Amino acid sequence: HFKNSPIGKVGGEVKKGLEPVTHSKPMLSCNKTKDIREVIEFAKENDVVLSWKMDGLTLVLRYENGEFKQAITRGHDGIVGEDITHNVKTIKTIPLKLKEPLDIEVRGEIYMSKKVLEELNQERLRNNEPLLKNARNAAAGSIRQLDSSIAAKRKLDTFIYHLPNPEDFGIKTHYEAVEFMKNLGFKTNPNNRLVHNIDEVISFCGEYEQ
């Protein structure tokens, strides 16, 4: 169908404003730590899924019968976000139709690569326009544009990493959920690994210290 083809990614829809949308479940923040002892204690009791943390903004995607219906920001409180469907449809890594006809909600991250940021700033420099300060702010500003053709030019990307209701699909672990979403057609973080002890955690982290 035309609406699910790459042609539909071009953009051109203009909104008068971003509509508020209440989340199906509150979007809570993850616990953070810089204390290796807390990491060791956690890894004693659990298998651990490790992946890169992308510096972007949180995204919610909703599908009905396998077809993309709505995209929402986290919002300030994690309770009510903003409808950004018109812009998210222009992101090439967002599937407009899943490989299975499911009603599903997934969550992830929208980001802009440093390479794209550099290219955009080179163009803005040539046009005597203010430079974009950093990739995260550039991504956030791009996805909240009322004109989707602007967002389409920003070459945004995504990683999908969270399934809010895994029990509905018979899924018991986070790793299974990530693999499930990947098989549906979502882009997941390629630097994603299941490890079983603290030595494997330390080894993974050591691979990227440089």
Report the alpha-carbon distance of residue 4 to residue 88 in Å, rounded. 13
Active site residue 53: yes
Q: Which two tokens stand for residue 84?
A: 């950004």
Cβ-contact 152, 13 below 8 angstroms: no
Checking 117-123 for CB contacts under 8 A at 24+ apart, the result is 120/154
Report the alpha-carbon distance of residue 28 to residue 169 in Å, rounded. 22
Report the alpha-carbon distance of residue 167 to residue 173 in Å, rounded. 10
Closest CA to 151 of 161, 165, 163, 141: 141
Cβ-contact 120, 139 below 8 angstroms: no
Q: Which two tokens stand for residue 162?
A: 């969270």
Among the listed residues 34, 53, 115, 172, the single catalytic one is 53
Q: Read out DSSP for 80-134?
A: EEEB-HHHHTT-TTS-SB-SS---EEEEEEEE--HHHHHHHHHHHHHTT-PPP--
> What residues act catalytically?
53
